[in-house]
Amino acid sequence: MSMIVRRLSRAATAGLVAAAALTAAAHSAEAADTLGSAAVGQGRYFGTAVAASHLGESDYAATLDREFSSVTPENEMKWDATEPSRGSFTFTSADRIVDHAQSQGMDVRGHTLVWHSQLPSWVSPLGAQDLRTAMNAHINGLMGHYKGEIHSWDVVNEAFQDGGSGARRSSPFQDKLGDGFIEEAFRTARAADPAAKLCYNDYNTDGVNAKSNAVYDMVKDFKSRGVPIDCVGFQSHFNSNSPVPSDYRHNLQRFADLGVDVQITELDIEGSGSAQAADYTKMVEACLAVSRCTGMTVWGVTDKYSWRSGGTPLLFDGDYNEKPAYGAVLSALGGSGGPGDPGDPGDPGDGASCTATYTRTADWSSGYNGQVTITAGAEPISSWTATVTLPAQQSVSSLWNGTPTWSGNVMTVRPSWNGTLAAGASTSFGFTAAKNGSDAAPTVGTCTAS
């Protein structure tokens, strides 16, 4: 798993590297009894879509941090979220996800740069030349902000229409710039962040059909002409109207044979019980059978926040219980410790654990108050340790309900009076920090408990 450091202007570089080393070690030290660690054992990542608005929920964050090695912002990197008015970029929510992922040693997929949907209203009326300029500026704005921090970017999303024609989808980009907008977006993206893998991402391309054939022809053409494309994303949203195709693996392989990586990017399968579990198993087995399938991402942590919540399409139910599909995926990844197995971190009786989440509780021009909430896992705990890495310029003037020790700008906090917590119970410590010119948020590393 690679660990990527934020731009110097936003990072307390030394502290972040130290925190990253800690969290990466914590992930790799785990047995292959979580989705992320089992997938890493297979040379793959196992990711999930994440919504910034849920990161402050302790059970959401605990499941995310425990199980996944990659995250995709579900909506926060889209055009309407990041450039709501022309040239005015806002990264607050996306940064929150990236910061959280980095504090946990997770990688980040970027989703998405050029898409006909979730476009702010100022884009569609632009004339062709202006639209071209705006598209390239948007790519440069996002990729520049996250340069070196994103393992794969969905450069263009859903540019082909459904149905039998294999035609391009009507969109402002297609209608005004023609087929060449895709190529131009990829060329701009390569220059903006040469380290990122550049993906084309789409749905209903999961088996061999007219739409996937059209994408296949485009990728083949790009490869033959040296247009920079590294990967193809297969969204893989399945339900009874759109079932798992029997030639899924074959389809992944034929794209891989063109010389690109393939990734399962938005996996969800409506259903429940053993039927849903069997379909998930097919997905994992297909990816593992294709050496260029570098990883898979499910489209959400819990059924209750899924875009298709009524279809219960994910691996954890609304109460964060592992579903049969979870055990099936873990087993297919070669992991052990599904529901009920000894050592399964989701089951009671597996020892002490905790999660730490950060919120800013007060803010003024020269400083702020931060609060870190510690929540015990499935077992009672008698002590906990949490790390907080501050931006280099900032300094802490006071801290309450905890005992800090310092190494550079990394603060390690242990309980003062509040070490003992019942299973699932929470406590918190707070601190006052001087900004000294930096308003950036601190990052909270792994919580350990005994």
Provide the binding-site residues for ligand G3I, judged by CB under 6 A: 74-75, 117-118, 203, 235, 266, 307
Helix (H) or strand (E) holding 73: strand 70-73
**Entry field: residues in the chain:** 450
- Evaluate whether 373 touches 428 at the Cβ level (below 8 Å): yes
Give 203 or 255: the residue with its C-beta nearer to ligand G3I.
203
Give 75 or 432: the residue with its C-beta nearer to ligand G3I.
75
| Structure token pair of residue 130 | 């202006």
State the minimum distance, in angstroms, from the CB of residue 84 to ligand G3I: 13
Q: E strands within 305-414? A: 354-364, 367-376, 384-389, 395-400, 403-407, 410-414
Give 6 or 151: the residue with its C-beta nearer to ligand G3I.
151
- Of 16, 70, 84, nearest to 93 (Cα)? 84
State the minimum distance, in angstroms, from the CB of residue 201 to ligand G3I: 7
Q: Please identify which of the residues 83, 158, 184, 322 carries the catalytic annotation.
A: 158
Distance CA 290, CA 256 (A): 8
The backbone torsions φ and ψ at residue 232, rounded to the nearest 5 degrees and listed phi first, read: -125, 130
Give 65 or 266: the residue with its C-beta nearer to ligand G3I.
266
What residues contact residue 26 under an 8 Å CB cut-off, 6+ apart?
105, 446, 448
Q: Please identify which of the residues 67, 76, 266, 322 carries the catalytic annotation.
A: 266
State the minimum distance, in angstroms, from the CB of residue 74 to ligand G3I: 5
Distance CA 227, CA 379 (A): 53
Closest residue to ligand G3I: CB criterion:
307
Active site residue 285: no
Active site residue 76: no
Give 251 or 446: the residue with its C-beta nearer to ligand G3I.
251
Helix (H) or strand (E) holding 429: strand 426-434
State the minimum distance, in angstroms, from the CB of residue 240 to ligand G3I: 17
State the minimum distance, in angstroms, from the CB of residue 160 to ligand G3I: 13
Annotated catalytic residues are 158, 266
